[in-house]
Amino acid sequence: MDFLRKTFRYAFYRFIVGSLRLLLTTAARVRVKNFAPLPNGPFILASNHISHFDPPILSGWIRPKIDWIAMSELFGTNWSHLGFTWLDVIPVRRHGDDRHALREALRRLAIGHVIGVFPEGGIRDGERSILAGAPMQDGAIMLSVHSGAPIVPAAILGSDRLYNKKNWLSWRRTNVYLATGAPIFPDTESKKSVAREKMRQEVSASVIRLKDELIAAYSLSPDDLPHSPQQRMLEP
């Protein structure tokens, strides 16, 4: 029974992610740069977050199945609860210490899953973004230090333009840029508090470096950097 449940959920995940990828390709050209091979085993994907389109883009263009950690409010209706549960999304309370979500994520890492985390805790642009050096939340760092699984940093640019309905016209397809970096492993020789701080600095620097790599590779301008959804909606 457990095998059938896992098989069904994997098929459901691939169907939903594949369908969303097909839909997104009508409005966006997703350009991906992997600066290092992804680990074969479990890892934590940690990305900046600039739009509601980020999870389906990251899931659709990064091959391993990703179990996302998402705010519990998304599970508010019967249908959303069922759908996100089938997609193996892990609900987390945004305010306070959610040990249940932490234990569940650690359990899945232990059996080889990939966990997706947005360490900003929500959609951020400008100085509030980790792309500009804003502080990260501890979730991804704690998962790595406690599990031994590496963090794969990621940077995404351009998905915020999809808030503008004009960019969904077939002749106005917008560019989305996605980069993943080398896995960052926790320091197992130091105290956990020291290891967490060291890893926080390494992940933050790596995400910023990936942003800079994308800017250099595609000659991006400041207008290509994250803007608020409200700003993007008003663009001509």
* Structural domains of the chain, ranges and CATH numbers in brackets: 2-233 (3.40.1130.10)
**Which pair of structure tokens corresponds to residue 125?**
């642009």
Query: Each residue of 134-192: pLDDT tens digit?
Result: 999 999 999 999 999 999 999 999 999 999 999 999 889 999 999 999 999 999 888 88
Per-residue confidence (pLDDT) for residue 221, from 0 to 100: 97
Q: Is the confidence at residue 9, as pLDDT, over 80?
A: yes
Distances in Å between the Cα of 35 and the Cα atoms of 117, 155, 159, 178, 202 are 19, 11, 20, 11, 16
The pLDDT confidence band at residue 95, using thresholds 50, 70 and 90, is: low
Interhelix angle 54-61/2-24, nearest 10 degrees: 110
The pLDDT confidence band at residue 1, using thresholds 50, 70 and 90, is: low
Per-residue confidence (pLDDT) for residue 112, from 0 to 100: 97
Between CA 172 and CA 28 the distance in angstroms is: 9
Q: Is the dihedral of CA 98, 100, 101, 103 positive or negative?
A: positive
Between CA 12 and CA 123 the distance in angstroms is: 26
Per-residue confidence (pLDDT) for residue 170, from 0 to 100: 82
Q: Look at 18 and 192; give whichever has higher pLDDT.
A: 18
The pLDDT confidence band at residue 124, using thresholds 50, 70 and 90, is: very high
For the entire predicted model, the pTM comes to 0.95
Query: How many Å separate Cα 230 from the centre of its chain?
Result: 21
Per-residue confidence (pLDDT) for residue 190, from 0 to 100: 83
Element (H, E) at 126: none
Interhelix angle 2-24/78-86, nearest 10 degrees: 100
